[in-house]
Structure 1
Amino acid sequence: MVADERFELGLGTYKNTDPAECAATVEMALDVGYRHVDTAQMYDNEAAVGRGIERAPVDREDVFLATKVHPENLAYEDVLDTTEESLEKLGTDYVDLLYVHWPAKAYDAEETLSALDELHDEGRIEHVGLSNFTPALLDEARDHLDAPVFAHQVEMHPLLQQETLHEYAVEHDHWLVAYSPIARGEVFDVPEIREIADKHGVTPAQVSLAWLVQKENVAAIPKATGAHVRENWEARELELDERDVTTIDGLGGEERLVDPEMAPWN
């Protein structure tokens, strides 16, 4: 795995579609200390994300910027063309990480991934990522890719712990990036997590984020606006003890919140 201290805790921008709010949130997050910003063609906010990065008091090369190819744009030429459109919207010559958002619709392992390899060879993308893949699809992708898989992004939180995909990430030395890392607020309703939060004088969201980023090869990208941006960032300072971790691990959750019909596990 490529070590990158910018990557461990990032800003998710899903559903942050108001252009002014999105740009302001990205700018604020980078000012607070974030260096990893995650967006997607599907989110319809790449231009706003780009404006936020441009306005922030941080050099572009210090920002780890990730976006994802829409599942309808995964044919070879469409990957190339829409990635160029994304770069134009983001106001950058390259992205640090480009994901296949879902292995669905126009996805074809050979065709799609050869386009990502080409973009990687040209320096338009620094790293290749996959999102919402199963272990079998990860194996297939690795067989087709020349570039290494840098990251695999999936829903992951104390109620959906993704043990198999975490083991896979450690074995194959890539990041496992957790989206919806506070289970869309449901961690606030878990008594064990509330108890740990009270013990440390923090919020259940911060407990969930700390539990994730203390794991080997795991990063998290909570979406947030306003005061929650700083609150999430401060989760990096929380050190859960062994008993805390064991308690959360013991929840053994399998509660999937993101489950579209096109998902490969359906």
Structure 2
Amino acid sequence: MAHIVEVSDAVDPRVDDFRDLSRADRRPDRPGGRGLVIAEGVVVVERLLASPYPVRALFGVRRRVDELLAATMDLDVPAYVTDADVMARVVGFHLNRGVLAVADRAPVIAPAELIGRSRRLAVLEGIGDHENLGALFRNAAALGVDGVLLGAGCSDPLYRRSVRVSMGHVLRVPFAHLDSWPEDLKLLRDNGFRVAALTPRADARALRDAALDRGSVAVLLGSEGPGLTDEAIAAADLAVRIPMVGGVDSLNVATAGAITFHAMSGA
């Protein structure tokens, strides 16, 4: 079980993993930083504790840390306990959720490994908004998508805001990076996947007619503004659209993803 360590001084070096999270150039979860995974709040911390990410420490007010102790039964890590004022001085802002946890990253999964053990996949291109990325992972977890492949231009799904918005589900939905885009989409086809590109183009097939619940299917979702590139759409087996009423040309990418993931499930 995690062992309680009282912290009364905001400059205590033992909580440096949690320090100055509001400063973009020092946040440890940013690319170029220490590469830590940061979970906020009891629910998300519980999911981090149950994930393959090696937990380093917890930090929070006593009440919130106490709620999590049972979930740390198999861990030998420190749980730093302090008051809300000291925690705010360490973190750089007042944290309403009252508890944080940090972990090292798990080993990277190879795309071929993820594809080989999956039947339904989401493939993302240019998803740069961390909140949209987190919401997509939450939707994928809720609607039975087996994993996520990250193509060109995607943000880091383990960025603190993405982890928070996903409610920790980014920690349980496996993901892999496609280094050659869109050439690596061939890996999907080689493994028997049908690749569907989601686009509002009028000549695309309506979602209800695309039979995405049959066989192994990967759905491509594009950036929040321009959507998928022409190259990505051309590399897919078919283009699919979500029919909408006149005057509305698109949906938020996480919303469009949820609708499409539901169609893939066949429910």
Per the normalisation by structure 1, the TM-score is 0.36
Greater share of residues in strand: 2
Greater share of residues in helix: 1
Per the normalisation by structure 2, the TM-score is 0.36
